[in-house]
Amino acid sequence: MEKLNEIRKVLNFYVRANELKNKIIDEPNNYSIADHLFGSMILATAIDSEFKETNNLSKIYRMLLLTEFSNLYHNYDFDNLKLKKQYNNEIAEARDMSTNDGKLVFKYKMLDFLLTKLIKENDVSASQLIQEGSTIISSLCSKEPSECEEIFNFYYLNFRLKNKIRSGWDGKHWNIKANRIETISEHIIGTLSLAMALNSEFEYHFNINKVLKMLTIHEIGETLIGDITPFDGIPPEQKKEIEHRAMRDALGQLKQKDSLLSLLYEFDEQETSEAKFSHYCDKIEADLQAKIYQDKGLHHSLDDQKNNCVFNSPKVQQMVKDGARDAFDIWYEYDKTIYANDNQFPEFSNILKIARANNLLHLDKVIKEKITLTDEEHSFLLQQLTDAIKDLYKDDNIDSIYLTNYQNSNNNKGTLNIVALLNDGASYFTYDQLMEKINRKMAIGNKTNVNVAFDSDYLHRYSTTAMNPNEVYRVERLVESEILFDKTGNLSKVQEAMKNHDHLYSFYLVDYVPPIDKAITYKLSKTK
């Protein structure tokens, strides 16, 4: 799998940004930071349509999101990102309010708070609400109230998305076990944060400004028709027709209606790079949200899905028969074909694989890729490795052996790294030659795409008090490995002691299915 480090950074940023959906900023109305961000961005979009206050609307979107992100995570190191300079500068500009764009960010945030208060706390007629809302906007934009009516109408319609939960999590679908579940407006902020992180780490050459604008408005049809899922009994063509009609109605009489509508149609057709990328962000954001709910323990078990219209579909029932164990297994199997074999954006398929194999809430140091082995591959590797390790066990100079399944950019099926630890006095040169001989034999006979690498090292280098970075790396890697045999028990003691320490290094591992490491340990135990 390529670009593992970039994928880690994208997922780390996204998971943190996902918490903007859970941090309540308006307790009386139960609105999150993400809800507020969406309202501010919708105002920016409508005001840009009518008055063109900025030359770079997508920069306003970024500044809004990045400042709230940095407020929530004071110690987040933006220097880890490739677009660190741009993002740090945009945060500083928003906070300083010394530029026009910085002042606009503050204005749009204030407008969302004021209009939210107006909408939620005043029981007035629709005409009076439009009048008062337009007056508030006009006072901060130095325009006449009549010039601001379409802005308020657009905002008021999109305001509904703050109160509409995503259908996938409701009682008719996956019935998430939480007091508060994701709204449509929060999903939109999730797609934007994902697009920003991906653009930073993968350095695309398409128009990212168009992408951010596309994602900000891509759900406006749902203001009128709600969130229709593929399991709600509406044929795709009919759904598309309903959504397009709703889009046209939702845009009202904005001056840029035609331009915005063209952007929405482009998103639906998925023929441009920007549209396909935006579509993928929209789809995989739902997959990642499903995995976060899984990792937080908020999904019901597959035995408790009697009211789930998704679960009742024949396709999903077949997935269960084929071995799906939890809700995300079904999300993964259902959506993996969306991104498969896409040479333009392979990172989406890889992100989904990483999400499947890891707890997204704990990606700081160790990430795994789940790789399925055929029966033939598993049998061959198990036999070959067990035979070689049994021969090494007979050597009195070898104290212990451990196995690490690691991944890098050079081998899609990963590497089985077997490290033999030598007692003091053993000749490193002799055993270095022995390992080379074993590796040559393995390479000639290897009938799989899994790389096999035997190495030797000295046991005394594995110490919990090691200060040399290379030695610390050895010991910490041991924590993520399987000890195949340990004659003196010293290596097991080190491993157990290190499990109580935080990892300092990043590891990219493979989770083989069925497992190789534990199978070798079991087979060796039967032969001793």
DSSP string, 504-517: -S-EEEEEEES-SH
Q: What are phi and psi of 320, to 5 degrees?
A: -65, -45
Q: At 177, is the secondary structure helix, strand, or coil? A: coil
- Shared domain check, 382 and 308: no
Share of the chain above pLDDT 70, in %: 95
What is the rounded CA–CA span in Å between residue 316 and residue 308? 11
Segments of 439-497 assigned E as strands: 451-458, 482-486
320 confidence band (pLDDT: 50, 70, 90)? very high
344 in any annotated domain:
no
Same domain for 301 and 427, yes or no, is: no
Reported as a pLDDT band with limits 50, 70 and 90, residue 500 is: confident
Identify the CATH number of the domain in which residue 284 sits.
1.10.3210.10
pLDDT band at 228; cut points 50, 70, 90: low
- With a cut of 80, say whether residue 230 has pLDDT above it: no
Query: Tell me, what's the pLDDT at 394?
Result: 95
pLDDT at 525: 83
With beta carbons less than 8 A apart as the criterion, state whether 189 and 173 touch: no
Asked whether residue 477 falls in the same domain as residue 328, the answer is: no
162-167: long-range pairs with CB below 8 Å, 24+: 162/31, 162/35, 162/38, 162/39, 164/222, 164/226, 164/227, 166/227, 166/286, 166/289, 167/226, 167/227, 167/228, 167/229, 167/232
- Is 80 exceeded by the pLDDT of residue 199? yes
* Span 10-24, average pLDDT: 97
Q: What pLDDT, on the 0 to 100 scale, is given for residue 244?
A: 81
- Assigned domain for 360 exists: no
Range with the poorest average pLDDT among 74-78, 83-87, 281-285, 311-315: 311-315
How many C-beta neighbours within 10 Å does residue 145 have? 17
Same domain for 389 and 485, yes or no, is yes
- Domain-embedded: residue 357: no
Same-domain status, 213 and 157: yes
Final residue belonging to a domain, choices 339, 361, 381: 339
Evaluate whether residue 189 is within a structural domain. Answer: yes
| Alpha carbon distances (Å) from 17 to 20, 117, 361, 427, 504 | 5, 25, 12, 52, 24
Residues 6+ apart with CB under 8 A from 514: 373, 378
Give the chain's domain count.
2
Single out the residue in 298, 315, 339 at which a domain terminates.
339
> How confident is the model at residue 235, as a pLDDT?
67
Computed over every residue of the chain, the mean pLDDT equals 92
pLDDT at site 475:
86
DSSP output for 115-150? HHHHHHH----HHHHHHHHHHHHHHHHTS-GGGGHH
Give me the pLDDT at residue 462, please.
87
Q: Find out whether 366 and 509 touch, Cβ atoms under 8 Å.
A: yes
Tell me, yes or no, whether 268 lies in a domain: yes
Alpha carbons 480 and 490: distance in angstroms, whole number: 17
Select the highest-mean-pLDDT range: 33-42, 368-377, 510-519. 33-42
Residue with tokens 């899609």: 412
Query: Hey, which residues does 511 pair with through a beta bridge?
Result: 370
User: Binning pLDDT at 50, 70 and 90, where does residue 245 land?
Assistant: confident
Structure confidence at residue 127 as a pLDDT band (50, 70, 90): very high
* pLDDT, tens digit (0-9, with 9 covering 90-100), for 373-385: 999 999 999 999 9
Q: State the pLDDT at residue 519.
A: 93
pLDDT mean over 224-245: 70
Identify the H or E element spanning 96.
helix 84-96
CATH code of 448's domain: 3.30.460
Residue 268 and residue 394 in one domain: no
Examine residue 512 and state whether it is found in any structural domain, yes or no: yes
Helix (H, G, I), strand (E, B) or coil at 221: coil
Q: pLDDT (tens digit, 9 = 90+) per residue, 27-70?
A: 999 999 999 999 999 999 999 999 999 999 999 999 999 999 99
Residues 318 and 427 occupy one common structural domain: no
Nearest of 247, 381, 209, 287 to residue 11 by alpha carbon: 287
Residues 95 and 154 in one domain: yes
Angle (deg, nearest 10), helices 149-158 and 126-141: 110
Backbone angles phi, psi at 52, to 5 degrees: 50, 65
How far apart, in Å, are the Cα atoms of 116 and each of 38, 112, 129, 162? 12, 6, 12, 10
Residues 11 and 89 in one domain: yes
pLDDT at 142: 96
Query: If you average pLDDT over residues 432-447, what whole number do you get?
Result: 94
Check whether residue 296 and residue 404 sit in a common domain: no
Dmax (CA) for the chain in angstroms is: 90
Is 280 in the same domain as 408?
Answer: no
What pLDDT, on the 0 to 100 scale, is given for residue 366? 85
Whether 295 has a pLDDT exceeding 70, the answer reads yes
Is residue 523 very low, low, confident or very high in pLDDT (cuts 50, 70, 90)? confident
Q: Single out the residue in 296, 323, 339 at which a domain terminates.
A: 339
Q: Has residue 52 been placed in a domain? A: yes
Q: Are residues 328 and 419 in the same domain?
A: no
The number of beta carbons lying within 10 Å of the beta carbon of residue 27 is 7
pTM of the predicted model over 0.85: yes
Please report, as a single letter, which amino acid is at residue 12: N
The larger pLDDT score, comparing residue 527 to residue 209, is at 209
In this structure, is residue 262 part of a structural domain? yes
- Residues 6 or more apart whose CB falls under 8 angstroms from that of 108 comprise 40, 41, 43, 44, 47, 60, 64
- The C-alpha angle 410, 412, 415, rounded to 5 degrees, equals 75
> What are residue 453's phi and psi, to 5 degrees?
-135, 115
Query: What range defines the domain where residue 500 resides?
Result: 371-527
